[in-house]
Amino acid sequence: MPVPSDTPLLLLHGFPMDARMWRYTTDHFRPMRPVIAPNVADLVGDGPSMAAMAHAALEALERAAPGEPAVVIGLSMGGYIAAEFVRSHPDRLAGLVMCDTRAGAESAEGRAGRDTMIDAVRRYGVTHGTAPLVERMLHDPPRALMSEVEAMVEQQDPEVVIACIEAMRDRRDNMAAIRSLTAPFVVIAGEYDELAPRLVEEALAHLTPHGRYVEIPRSGHVPPLENPEAFNAALEEFLVPSS
């Protein structure tokens, strides 16, 4: 089912980055559709929870396109926000794209890891505190891309980063919300994503009978930056499927 051609795209980025992560996606789609790509720093004001961030994302959509539904596209942490959006604002959803992410709550082991990372960010700053994650994000990256991501991470506000880690640690299980989804749905994932492996991504796609799974070659956890051509093509095919 194609998504109407003027439907806005709401892009929710991954951690510990910002909306620059979507630069090739926005460059490609902005001439065709409204694209709203908030920074999480502007979404955490109401408190560190995915539900509050989803509500703030809805407000950003409302400012740009009052009353309109959007295709919500969330990468990793952005997918956790998108899953809350599905749960709380299904009437504003024209389609859902989950990238390299999950819909379940954090495991006990994962929660402990989040606490360790919060402590490390407090003690040593964002770059050192998040290094164990950032080092595993990209698959065999060219030096220029790695430097770009490292610079983006370094520029993040430690308080915002800590709020995001708390929200990821405490996120709810939203699998039931995804199961009840009737809007078009696709999972797009990097072939070599170590942080959200293929089996997890396929299971996410199959939570609904109509969910599709698309793999992006030559990419790790961040396909919109690692293989933007293939990522944009997958998104285009979802928005306007060829017959």
Q: Which is nearer to ligand MLT, 6 or 154 (CB)?
A: 154
Distance CA 13, CA 139 (A): 18
| Cα–Cα nearest to 81, from 145, 119, 37 | 37
Provide the minimum distance between the beta carbon of 53 and ligand MLT in the complex, in angstroms, as a whole number.
Answer: 12
Q: Which is nearer to ligand MLT, 149 or 230 (CB)?
A: 149
Helix axes 158-169, 77-88, angle to 10 degrees: 60
Provide the minimum distance between the beta carbon of 240 and ligand MLT in the complex, in angstroms, as a whole number.
Answer: 28
Q: Which residues contact 205 (CB under 8 A, 6 or more apart)?
A: 185, 186, 187, 211, 212, 213
Would strands 212-216 and 9-12 be described as parallel, antiparallel, or unpaired?
A: unpaired
Q: Which residues bind ligand MLT (CB under 6 A)?
A: 14-15, 76-77, 133, 168, 195, 221
Distance CA 76, CA 78 (A): 5
Provide the minimum distance between the beta carbon of 66 and ligand MLT in the complex, in angstroms, as a whole number.
Answer: 29
Instruction: Decide: 191 and 231 in contact? Cβ < 8 Å.
Output: no
Q: Which is nearer to ligand MLT, 76 or 227 (CB)?
A: 76
Provide the minimum distance between the beta carbon of 8 and ligand MLT in the complex, in angstroms, as a whole number.
Answer: 22
